[in-house]
Amino acid sequence: MPGFATLLARVPDEGGIVHPLLALALALLLHLAAAGLARFAAPRLAVHAHVLGEGFAQRLRAMLRYAISALLIGIATAFWPHESVGHLILGIGLGLSIALLAALALRALAIPRWAVLPLALLLFLSIVSGTSGGLAPVGAMLDTVGISLGKRRVTVLGILSIAATCVALFALVRLANRLIGRSIGRADGFDPTQKLLAQKLAAIVVIVAAFFIGVDLLGIDLTAFAVFSGALGLAVGFGLQKTFGNLIAGIILLMDRSIKPGDVIVVGDSFGWVNKIGVRAVSVITRDGKEHLIPNENLMTQEVENWSYSDRNVRVRIPVGVGYDSDLTLAQDLMRQAALDCKRVLREPEPNVWLTGFGESRIEHDILVWISDPEGGVGNVKSDVLNRLWHLFKDAGITIPYPQRVVHAAPVAMVSPPTPDLSATP
């Protein structure tokens, strides 16, 4: 470091602008070198960036450029003589690189732009002031700008610190949840339901830990709320009773594995397959493409039909009636053939035909078929089988009769008209 200062001192600084120009040129040269290194390293690190999400993969090259630039300019700043204009220029370059790197990382985590600005600005000011004499002068200046609210004083420094801390903690929570979620998702010892439960529990732990870390960093005294904690806790308990009930119900559903993502269930009038089990509700997608959000508590207290709980095979009943003058053996064979011709009907267990009763105008049958993909719907299987059966019956001359009614008319008795009474005539 003394050798570099001595070498720099030998360069004539006419008018006091040569050394600042050298610092500016050095900062630009190092940034260009960082861009070249980032272009070389980005393709080799792209595979690892996908672990953090698509946002990091799309911004990987720019993030590498600013990270390498911050490293190179930081080294140059450390060797440049302090308390000089050139040192300040390098400090500005270092601050810009780190602030832009932080902004790109936060945007990759889907943090809004308005929330990224306070943290990036605070980082830039901190680094620039740190390279030009320390943070104390800048901090004191920002601390003098503010207003008094009661016994407390709200300053620009305090607002920037709170905003930056909240944004940083929010970004760390998202990054931790993403890393933990992907690590659990790639684990081989868990089934999908256990992975989902572990991810949700880990997310809750991360959020709680971030809350207490934020309280400690911001210096919030929770004892000030001790007087109101009882009433507040009671109010929150009543207000969030359903929310916590749904949260606990969702955890129980994931633990006992009675309902899993991908199951086909019937709850009341809702029939469909489970898309995901959330903190508050279960998402059920119907055959119409509608997504029903059913509260977790309803699945715990109401009767639920799970068509794929222990076995994905589901039996479908298709009622059919034929005329009394039909050949029953032929008709039943055609029913089996129509069922076997349907692609979704399983061959094992094989379709079966039951004669269920003698109706008023037809002989009732049930075609019993099995399918292994209930999420594909049941009505389309019935439609396919009945369409095929219609053509088979038509070719074989087997009729499906209309309902018939026999009306018997009772005979009307002939009654003679009464004989008039002539004695009453005057």
How far apart CA 273 and CA 276 sit, in angstroms, is 9
Give the dihedral of Cα atoms 250, 251, 252, 257; nearest 10 deg.
90
**Average pLDDT of the residues in 95-116:** 82
Q: Inform me whether the pLDDT recorded for 12 exceeds 60.
A: no
Q: Inform me whether the pLDDT recorded for 325 exceeds 50.
A: yes
pLDDT at residue 320, rounded to an integer:
92
Minimum mean pLDDT range among 99-108, 119-128, 221-230, 303-312: 221-230
Q: Inform me whether the pLDDT recorded for 16 exceeds 80.
A: no
pLDDT at residue 5, rounded to an integer:
53
Confidence tier at 420 by pLDDT (50, 70, 90): low
Show the tokens assigned to 105.
Answer: 């990382």
Q: Which is more confident, 377 or 18? A: 377
| Percent of the chain with pLDDT strictly greater than 90 | 9
Q: Which domains are delineated in the chain?
A: 2-134 (no CATH), 245-306 (2.30.30.60), 314-396 (3.30.70.100)
Q: Inform me whether the pLDDT recorded for 187 exceeds 80.
A: no
**Average pLDDT of the residues in 19-40:** 84
**Average pLDDT of the residues in 39-62:** 74
- Asked if 392 and 334 touch (Cβ cutoff 8 Å), the reply is yes
Q: Inform me whether the pLDDT recorded for 267 exceeds 70.
A: yes
Q: Inform me whether the pLDDT recorded for 224 exceeds 50.
A: yes
Confidence tier at 313 by pLDDT (50, 70, 90): confident
Q: Inform me whether the pLDDT recorded for 132 exceeds 70.
A: no
How far apart CA 360 and CA 251 sit, in angstroms, is 53
| Percent of the chain with pLDDT strictly greater than 70 | 77
pLDDT digits (tens, 9 = 90+) for 227-255: 556 665 666 566 667 777 777 787 777 77
Cα–Cα nearest to 19, from 73, 105, 83: 83
- Asked if 145 and 184 touch (Cβ cutoff 8 Å), the reply is no
Query: In the beta sheet, which residues pair with residue 369?
Result: 316
How far apart CA 187 and CA 340 sit, in angstroms, is 41
- Asked if 92 and 134 touch (Cβ cutoff 8 Å), the reply is no
Q: What does the chain come to in residues? A: 426
pLDDT at residue 334, rounded to an integer:
92
- Asked if 205 and 234 touch (Cβ cutoff 8 Å), the reply is no
- Asked if 119 and 102 touch (Cβ cutoff 8 Å), the reply is yes
pLDDT digits (tens, 9 = 90+) for 398-418: 888 877 666 777 776 665 666
**Average pLDDT of the residues in 64-88:** 81
User: For residue 286, how many other CB atoms are within 10 A of its CB?
Assistant: 14
Omega of the bond leading into 349 within 30 degrees of 0 (cis): yes
* Three-state helix/strand/coil letters over the chain: CHHHHHHHHCCCCHHHCHHHHHHHHHHHHHHHHHHHHHHHHHHHHHHHHHHHCHHHHHCHHHHHHHHHHHHHHHHHHHHCCCCCHHHHHHHHHHHHHHHHHHHHHHHHCCCCHHHHHHHHHHHHHHHHHHHCCCCHHHHHHHHHCEEEECCEEEEHHHHHHHHHHHHHHHHHHHHHHHHHHHHHHCCCCCCHHHHHHHHHHHHHHHHHHHHHHHHHHHCCCHHHHHHHHHHHHHHHHHHCHHHHHHHHHHHHHHHHCCCCCCCEEEECCEEEEEEEECCCEEEEECCCCCEEEEEHHHHHHCCEEECCCCCCCEEEEEEEEECCCCCHHHHHHHHHHHHHHCCCCCCCCCCEEEEEEECCCCEEEEEEEEECCHHHCCHHHHHHHHHHHHHHHHHHCCCCCCCCCCCCCCCCCCCCCCCCCHHHCC
pLDDT digits (tens, 9 = 90+) for 281-298: 888 888 777 888 888 888
- Asked if 182 and 175 touch (Cβ cutoff 8 Å), the reply is no
- Asked if 385 and 318 touch (Cβ cutoff 8 Å), the reply is yes
Cα–Cα nearest to 69, from 92, 93, 45: 93
Show the tokens assigned to 400.
Answer: 């499906």
Confidence tier at 37 by pLDDT (50, 70, 90): confident
How far apart CA 347 and CA 313 sit, in angstroms, is 12
